[in-house]
Structure 1
């Protein structure tokens, strides 16, 4: 498996993560759900204003959010001729991630790992619209987090 992670931080937002950590989290998630091959993923860091604008535009929710996932829209007919499969983009708002981590008494790095894993699962078809889907997705997230040495992200102190 060869995974390319592009970390985009146009606004030079301060953060506690780097592309090597992100790549490890993404690769561990993909291996856990048995996805293989050459692929790329883009992680974009945005401020709260942009997070709110994206959330309103794509989810019709007028508030900033911690994470958004956008699956690749490359047609299947082109996938076979491209050198790598682009999974899609995960957008994170560091200001919200930091705030949530503090409120939930979690390390900021663990919260980033969880949200990037969550976004990666979304890019691979996982959803949480139904109770059963949510349970399945949460179980995968917990398993991946444990493999990475992080605590269960759903246990709030």
Structure 2
């Protein structure tokens, strides 16, 4: 069950290259390991790895050669949710799931995202293109956020932190 704290959010920029996905997974693990169940954390990290990997492979970077990753923990009408958003400079075609055969070497990333999340989608704005996903936190797990931590960084305001 959730504590009195209803929301916690954070964002970071990572390089638009192969190491960006590794850096994003690492930062997310550090930030969320004390807040959500390890099994759910593994799913969140897998989703983010797929989304950042897709951004590196298929999209242009944001100015400065980066990709922006934001996450938010919140309580809502459907229960506690972990939301993630990966923003890049956009691509000619919107991300979509492809039909792939068993011998294909790639093309399963968004299928993995769809399987692990309750919903996902794509939005375009003046900054670029964002792919977002939401994962439900089972009631028995709940959020483990001490009330004194309060809201961290409001991701929707575009605050970013450089990766360490």
TM, length-normalised to structure 1: 0.30
Greater fraction of residues in strand: 2
Task: Decide which structure has greater helix share.
Answer: 1
Give TM-score scaled by structure 2 length: 0.29
Larger RCO (CA under 8 A, 6+ residues apart): 2
